[in-house]
Amino acid sequence: MSTSSAPASSRRWWALGLIAAAQFMVIMDTSIIGVALPRMQAELGFTPGNLSWVFNAYVVAFGGLLLLGGRLSDLLGARRIFAAGWAVLLVGSVVAGVASGVGTELAGRAVQGVGAALIAPSALTLLMMLFGANPKELTKAIALYGAAAPAGGTAGVFLGGVITEYLSWPWVFFLNIPIAAIALLATPALMPAAPARRGSIDLVGALTVTAGLGAGVYTIVRAPEVGWSSGQTLLAGAAAVVLLALFVAIQAKRREPLMRLAIFRSPNLAAANVAQLLLGAAWVPMWFFLNLYLQQVLGLSAFPSGSALLPMTTFIMLGMIVVAPRLIAAIGPKKTLVAGMAILTAGLAGLSLIRSNGSFWVDVLPASLIAAAGMSLAFIPSLGIALSSARPEEGGLASGIVNTSYQIGSALGLAAMTAVAAANGADRLGDVGSLTDGYSAAFIGAAVIAAAGAVLTAIWLRTQRAAEEAPAPVEAAASK
């Protein structure tokens, strides 16, 4: 983009603030509901098995449509799709907030996920349009954009507790409405316009990957209730396999696919995406069941429960911005990633030792900080390797794939650990002993996933190339 078409300098930084707010909101919407889950379960009639769909409905729509959102941004213009995403998020937030039943709540969350899938890729495209011509400014912009993610996670946990305790759970969704309205008003004035260009949109591919992911998560969530060998389980599982295989076949045949399959010929790109998938599959179940343990076993109300998770989320933010870049520079991205996955495994194993008569200071805080340290060390190098392993002209595609990998891992990991927890007693509400056993089993399962990530990364990643592929902009941005 030429300098003459860019907004004035001061407006560009205001625009960056809006882009960072978008990243902040997308991440906050995944974390803010955690503390509110027990209240929502009681008031809306969720069962322990389908309660995880309050998270999964958002994540499946978000992860499944990210590639389509990026494609629409390229074809129709990032500013249009960015604004459309905020409008969709606003509608979804209203529906989720006024819901009086399970179905309406899940529909609202899915609509929110669609909005996030439009916002996330177009926001990064706008950032590159605004700051890509100036490397020094681009480094600062990426630093602020990157810091918005852990800040959103931290704010979501804290605000979820405050809102649930002193207002009511619908306000965790209503909070989005004024922010989305401000974003819609500010976007035309702050964001650069880009002309639409010709090209096809792979709607069939987007629908098949989203439906396949949804069927897979549904299969894993429902199986403990209806039986793993039941007709319903087998039918839904077969549908997931067929749909995902169909998606791959469609991508192989289309001239302009959502995801060019040849991009995975880079071993490090594939390995880094697997690492991101397993990170999501281990981390999100930990966050989900830790919220439930704090409230349903330790008896903390919503505000203390949200406050109890602040040390962990703050630790992640500091680790990503301060520690991880320096460690990558010292020992390389592969060793940092493997170490991070191993430390995350240790933290999850520590959380599996929770007791029914335990306390936050002994059973939660030490192990959660270890897990947070592992997550912060693993996330930055895996993201950097994934983005730098693709050809420069495919940076947007690589970004979409790595975001999708994490979201898919989050959904499937939570579904699987929900099944594990239910099979070990987490479906016996009111029985703190059984609940503790169920949550402990979920933490053990998450630890196994993280350990698998450490082993696969150590074997799969090519050391020399991984070191070469850690992009300076990512490291510099994180260290600012």
Report pLDDT for 129: 79
Residues 293 and 238 in one domain: no
Structure token digits, residue 239 = 């549908």
Report pLDDT for 467: 41
The domain boundary residue, chosen from 191, 223, 253: 253
> In which residue are the tokens 């990512």 written?
474
Report pLDDT for 130: 83
Residues 17 and 81 in one domain: yes
Residues 244 and 267 in one domain: no
Residues 164 and 302 in one domain: no
Number of domains in the chain: 3
> Cβ(102)–Cβ(44) under 8 Å?
yes
Task: Give the distance, in angstroms, between the CA of residue 240 and the centroid of all CA atoms in the same chain.
Answer: 21
Report pLDDT for 4: 41
Q: 432 to each of 98, 170, 352, 435, how far by Cα in Å?
A: 31, 27, 15, 5
Structure token digits, residue 216 = 């897979």
Residues 207 and 188 in one domain: no
The domain boundary residue, chosen from 201, 217, 235: 201
Residues 359 and 218 in one domain: no
Residues 191 and 208 in one domain: no
Report pLDDT for 453: 95
Report pLDDT for 256: 78
Length of the chain: 480
Report pLDDT for 474: 42
For residues 311 and 146, give the distance between their C-alpha atoms in angstroms, rounded to a whole number. 19
Residues 234 and 195 in one domain: no
Residues 231 and 310 in one domain: no
The CATH number linked to 196 is: 1.20.1250.20
Report pLDDT for 396: 56
For residues 327 and 198, give the distance between their C-alpha atoms in angstroms, rounded to a whole number. 44
> Cβ(34)–Cβ(287) under 8 Å?
yes
Residues 138 and 287 in one domain: no
pTM over 0.85: no
Residues 315 and 191 in one domain: no
> Cβ(429)–Cβ(92) under 8 Å?
no
For residues 467 and 423, give the distance between their C-alpha atoms in angstroms, rounded to a whole number. 42
**H helix intervals, 389-471:** 395-421, 432-460, 463-469
Task: Give the pLDDT of the chain (480 residues) as one tens digit per residue.
Answer: 444 444 456 788 888 888 888 888 877 877 777 778 888 888 888 877 677 788 778 877 887 777 788 778 877 888 899 999 999 999 999 999 998 888 899 999 999 989 998 988 888 778 777 876 776 676 567 656 766 776 677 677 777 778 877 788 888 889 889 989 999 999 998 888 877 677 677 788 888 887 887 787 777 766 766 777 888 889 988 998 999 999 999 988 888 787 777 777 777 888 988 999 999 899 988 988 998 899 889 988 767 877 787 888 788 878 877 888 888 888 988 999 999 999 999 999 999 999 999 999 999 999 999 999 998 889 878 877 876 776 654 655 666 777 778 877 887 888 789 889 988 988 887 889 999 999 999 999 999 999 999 999 999 887 644 444 444 444 433 333
Q: Which amino acid is at 365?
A: L
Q: Give the domain range for residue 419.
A: 262-480
Report pLDDT for 390: 67
| Terminal Cα distance for the chain, rounded | 26
For residues 443 and 423, give the distance between their C-alpha atoms in angstroms, rounded to a whole number. 13
Residues 13 and 144 in one domain: yes
The domain boundary residue, chosen from 253, 288, 318: 253
